[in-house]
Amino acid sequence: MFGLYKLGKQRNISAYIYMRINKYLAEKGYSTRRGADALIQAGQVNINGRLAVLGDQVTEADKVEVATSALSSLSSKFVYYAYNKPVGVVTHSPQKGETDIVQATKLAGVFPLGRLDKESHGLILLTNDGRVTERLLSPSSEHEKEYVVKVDKPLRQNTLTRLTKGIKLEDGYITKPAEVEGLGAHALKIIITEGKRHQIRRMLAALGYVVTDLKRARIMNIELGELKVSEWRELSVGEKKELLGELGL
């Protein structure tokens, strides 16, 4: 029996650019390239309904399937961490003088799931499981992310109401409705299901506010909780089971 895993757009692979199948499987976190060759030789990889052979190439348009029995053995090698990112650490490739998450945590072989801008802090997930990226971050996935936000001036009730209905950003995009709760004159909790670049800052800027502090407190079922700034922890068995279940893995 085979499980379907399609090449994701998050790696910026054009539908017309080819990638060797062993490199694809390695980048998705299934195995090393040598391990991928072994899976192919064992008849455990399909491309568009046919058995893959060594040297095959794929594009974003291809349907790549890996035998579920192989995936079961590989899944034990995946790791998942919650990290409380401090202000100043970046989640993109670091420029001169910047520190990224891998440097900050010293966790080898993992990457952040999505981004949290340099001026923001709070929860970000780290893993070596490439299957998770597209399923968590796809615009159509609508997985909840919760933030606590502070702004530069008192919030009006009308502001909170408008946020729940969607905001037209400066580029014309209208955000999806959000769940919002006031936390005092200058603070609010907001839950969104999409992840446009600097989205919350831009939403509030469109209403005349400047964000002075932004903390991500939850991603789906994973909560920041009492995790201290700059600390990380491995997800519990229950957290992993629920997270992967909601992602269809």
Q: How far apart are CA 42 and CA 53, in angstroms?
A: 10
SS3 73: helix
Q: Which architecture, in CATH terms, is 2-75?
A: Roll (3.10)
Burial class (CB in 10 A: 0-12, 13-18, 19+), 155: buried
Give how far the C-alpha of residue 166 lies from the chain's centroid of Cα atoms, to the nearest Å.
22
Domain 80-139+221-246 has CATH 3.30.70.580: yes
Cβ atoms of residues 143 and 246 within 8 Å = yes
Q: Which architecture, in CATH terms, is 145-219?
A: 2-Layer Sandwich (3.30)
Structure tokens at 153: 């001036």
SS3 222: strand
Other Cβ atoms less than 10 A from the Cβ of 131: the count is 23
Q: Which residue numbers are catalytic?
A: 117
**pLDDT tens digits, one per residue of 157-211:** 999 999 999 999 999 999 999 999 999 999 999 999 998 999 999 999 999 999 9
Q: Which residue has the tokens 């490739």?
A: 93
- pTM of the full predicted structure? 0.75
Q: Which part of the chain has CATH 3.30.70.580?
A: 80-139+221-246
**pLDDT tens digits, one per residue of 57-116:** 998 788 888 887 666 666 567 899 999 999 999 998 888 899 999 899 998 888 899 899
Phi, psi of 85 (to 5 degrees): -70, 130
Q: Which part of the chain has CATH 3.30.70.1560?
A: 145-219
Q: Which part of the chain has CATH 3.10.290.10?
A: 2-75
